[in-house]
């Protein structure tokens, strides 16, 4: 159930990432609310990927899924 909510939230940021040749993949969700994602494509090697992760992906996920404590890239 939680993973489905996270996937729905990720689908809201995917178009922006895909427009730049990248994407995000949900890897795991820990019991403490830590979401692990993998940035792929152009996002994987982008120098701005940490900002995209924190200011974009994490912000949207926390707004849509309050159970989330943080988002980490793996």
- What is the CATH classification number for the domain harbouring 13? 3.30.300.130
Residues with pLDDT less than 70, the chain: none
pLDDT at position 19 is: 93
Which domain does 45 fall in, by range? 2-73
pLDDT at position 61 is: 95
pTM value is: 0.89
pLDDT at position 33 is: 93
Number of domains in the chain: 1
pLDDT at position 44 is: 86
- 41: region left, alpha or beta (phi > 0 left; psi from -120 to 50 alpha): left
pLDDT at position 55 is: 87
pLDDT at position 1 is: 85
Measured over the CA atoms of residue 11, residue 15, residue 17 and residue 21, the dihedral's sign is: positive
Query: Alpha-carbon distance 2 to 50, whole Å?
Result: 24
């Amino acid at each position: 159930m939680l993973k489905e909510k996270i996937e729905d939230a990720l689908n809201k940021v995917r178009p922006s990432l895909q427009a730049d040749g990248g994407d995000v993949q949900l890897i795991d969700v820990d019991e403490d609310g830590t979401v692990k994602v993998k940035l792929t494509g152009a996002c994987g090697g982008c120098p701005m990927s940490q900002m995209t992760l924190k200011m974009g992906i994490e912000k949207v996920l926390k707004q849509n899924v309050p159970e989330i404590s943080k988002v980490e890239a793996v």
